[in-house]
Amino acid sequence: MLKIRKNIAISDSGFVFDPLSGESYSLNPIGLEILQLIKNGQSFEAVSKHILEKYEVDAETFERYYYDFLATLKLFHLTEPD
Amino acid sequence: MKKLTIGLSGLNNIDSPGPGIPVIRGIKDSKILNARIVGLAYENLEPGAYMHDLVDKTYKVPYPSDGVEPLLDRLRYIQEREHLDVLIPNFDSELFTFMKSEKVLQDMGIKTFLPTLKQFEERHKSNLPEYGKKYGVKVPYSEPITSVQDFVQHRDKFEFPVVVKGKFYDAHIAYDLDQVAMYFNKIAAKWGLPIVIQEFVKGTEVNVIALGDGKGNTIGAVPMRKTYITDKGKAWGGITLEDPAMMELTDKIISQTQWRGGMELELIRTSKDELYMIEINPRLPAWVYLAVAAGQNLPEALVRLALGEDVKPFQGYQVGKMFIRYSFDMITDLHEFEQLATKGEL
């Protein structure tokens, strides 16, 4: 399971700071919510259930965006290496 | 603590700033030191000379290129009036002269805390490959050259682009032989020979400021990434990082070389997360105040080491601390400029 690097700082406003590279990123509220869930060790199934219940989105669309989001996190080295 | 008198150079706080003013800010922030600052200026328009809240008195000094004796004569004159306790030279180009004169300065009652000549020489850009081999540090392949023809002879050892670097300052990326020749002439005219041709390592530039006690201990070290770079390649903004690999490399270099004094490591982190050392600057850099703000007052520690005090290594620093430079129009009067220009003192 993909894990968010431990030393990544995530603020309540969705501001993400990577202390290794010095890069910072801004997340929208849903991005922040998903990132927090992943950081807390939630599986794809649990995140998906949470989002589908809370927002108007179908499972297929969510899955597509979810993996797209994970790929972005990986691209920016915000996740633990495989 | 008794009031100290500290002499400093590097008062050119312009777009390519010297470390003088930020070093003074660190000293003034100190809760331990109580210092009067005497500035040493090479030019009439070095802003620090006119910053009376930071610099108490300024003396013009001759360029090191004018020879050691004129500089020492001037320092003797300054010493008679000011009784400097510690002197912190902040320009690369003057360090050699001050290192050579360490004993003479000591006899005058002026203490310094500089790298040894051996430490200074072996980390020269032109000696970097040997340095890398000796201390087990990754460095880009490089060759010192004294003519463009020299480069042509080493041509097959390089792939374009290459970095063309001056002895003290300046670095340009050259994409073909014509550009190598152009930058060679440009830099050689300003900074002299040799010119160093360095393999271009692709990645993110990261830097570490550090202070060694001369016995192999790292007194302090703070890694940083430039977040804004001017067209002169100078940091106009930066942020402190948490990077164990950079800290480990710094400790290794300081312990192996027994580095004495301030230093700045210029590194490239590649996409494979490897660190290449591209340069060691043998002094505190102009962004030293970021380290002070992050919790390591390295100028204060440097002064205390120069005074022979026992200084304990710093424990940690704040990650994510930033600096953003700005320019400021300082207003001064013509008579101040006249004082410095005609009498050499302000």
CATH number at residue B310: 3.30.470.20
> Who's near B82: CB < 8 A, 6+ residues apart?
B5, B7, B38, B57
| Average of per-residue pLDDT across B135-152 | 88
A17 contacts in B (CB within 8 Å)? 320
Share of chain B above pLDDT 90, in %: 75
3 state SS for B108-168:
HCCECCCCCHHHHHHCCHHHHHHHHHHHCCCCCCEEEECCHHHHHHHHHHCCCCEEEECCC
Note whether B242 contacts A17, CB cutoff 8 Å: no
- Domain shared by B21 and B149, yes or no: no
What residue type is B120 in one-letter code? F
How does residue B15 score in pLDDT terms, banded at 50, 70 and 90? Answer: confident
Residues B33 and B76 in one domain: yes
Residues B189 and B229 sit within 8 Å (Cβ to Cβ): no
- Predicted TM-score (pTM) of the model is 0.88
Closest-CA residue in chain B for A76?
A: B271
User: In this structure, are B101 and B125 located in the same domain?
Assistant: no
Q: Are B206 and B172 within one domain?
A: no
- Judgement on whether residues B133 and B258 belong to the same structural domain of the protein: yes
Q: Residue B97 carries which side chain, given as an amino acid letter?
A: T
Instruction: Inspect the interface and report whether the beta carbons of B243 and A20 lie closer than 8 Å.
Output: yes
- Cα–Cα distances in angstroms (integers) from residue A47 to residues A5, A31, A77, B326, B333, in the given order: 18, 12, 21, 45, 67
Report the C-alpha gap between B104 and B108 in whole angstroms.
Answer: 6
Residues B104 and B62 in one domain: yes
Residue B220 and residue B312 in one domain? yes
Domain count, chain B: 3
Give the per-residue pLDDT at B170.
82
Q: B92 and B24 share a domain?
A: yes
Going from the first residue of chain A to its last (82 residues), give the mean pLDDT of each consecutive group of 10, the final group possibly shorter: 89 93 94 94 94 95 95 93 77
Q: What is the mean pLDDT of residues B124-146?
A: 86
Q: Is the CB of residue B153 less than 8 Å away from at least one CB of chain A? A: no
Q: Which of B199, B224, B241 is the last residue of a domain?
A: B199
Closest residue on chain A to B241 (Cα): A19
The answer on B311 and B249 residing in a single domain is yes
> Nearest CA of chain B to the CA of A50: how many Å?
32
Distance from CA of A10 to the nearest CA of B (A): 12
| Lowest model confidence (mean pLDDT) among B114-128, B175-189, B315-329 | B114-128
| Domain that includes residue B208, residue range | 119-137+202-324
pLDDT at B216 over 80: yes
Instruction: Give the pLDDT score at A36.
Output: 93
- The pLDDT of residue B136: 84
Pair (B195, B211) in one structural domain: no
Whole-number pLDDT of residue B49:
97
In angstroms, rounded to a whole number, what is the distance separating the alpha carbons of residues A22 and A39? 20
One domain for residues B238 and B266: yes
State phi, psi for B60 to the nearest 5 degrees.
-75, 140
B164 and B212 part of one domain = no
At B68-109, the pLDDT tens digits run: 999 999 999 999 999 999 999 998 888 999 999 999 999 999
Q: Token pair for residue B53? A: 């809240």
Q: Tell me, what's the pLDDT at B3?
A: 93
Instruction: Please indicate whether, in this complex, the C-beta atoms of A9 and B320 are within 8 angstroms of each other.
Output: yes
Q: How many Å lie between the alpha carbon of A61 and the closest alpha carbon of chain B?
A: 32
Q: Could B242 and A21 be called an inter-chain contact, meaning their C-beta atoms sit closer than 8 Å?
A: no
Residue the block writes with tokens 């800010």: B25
Q: What's the CA gap between B29 and B303, in Å, rounded?
A: 13
